[in-house]
Amino acid sequence: MRKLSHACVATEELLREHLFGPDRRRRALVAEEGGVVGYAIFSRRFRRSWRGRGFFLEDLYVRPAQRRKGIGKALLRHIARLAMTRGYGRVEWSVLDWNVPSIEFYKSLGAVALDEWTMMRLTGEPLERFAGP
């Protein structure tokens, strides 16, 4: 996250609104061990009509001092179990290509990289220009 700390604009109020507000679109799992040590934020997703329903993992974080204790795995397992009990066929997420420790962790769970897909983003001035008046 240090490589992206300059881009962090989420506030406590924004998280509270999206995770606990009346129009919430995301769910959160919190891992506690004498305080919050990790969390997972995820949402339902109907993606690519031929694949149907699933969950999209928005964020998975475990405090560095608490890593390698199975906390991240437990959070992901809980989401996987929710998916299975609801008849959802998948759990998907994105990971930055330079985040090798996370990639290796995900692969150790049996996850596969979808190298044939490229994530696209429209933001800032290009977003404003495209949206038009």
3-state helix, strand, coil in the chain (%, to 5): 40, 25, 35
* Residue 42 CB burial class (10 angstroms; 0-12, 13-18, ≥19): buried
pTM listed for this prediction: 0.80
- For residue 11, the model assigns a pLDDT of 72
What CATH number is given for 2-131 in this structure? 3.40.630.30
* pLDDT tens-digit profile, the chain (133 residues): 456 556 566 677 776 776 677 777 788 899 999 999 999 999 988 765 556 789 999 999 999 999 999 999 999 999 999 999 998 989 999 999 999 999 999 999 999 999 898 889 999 999 999 999 8
Catalytic residue annotation: 106
Evaluate the CA torsion angle 10, 18, 31, 57 in order and state its sign: negative
Q: Identify the bridge partners of residue 93 per DSSP, sorted by sequence position.
A: 57
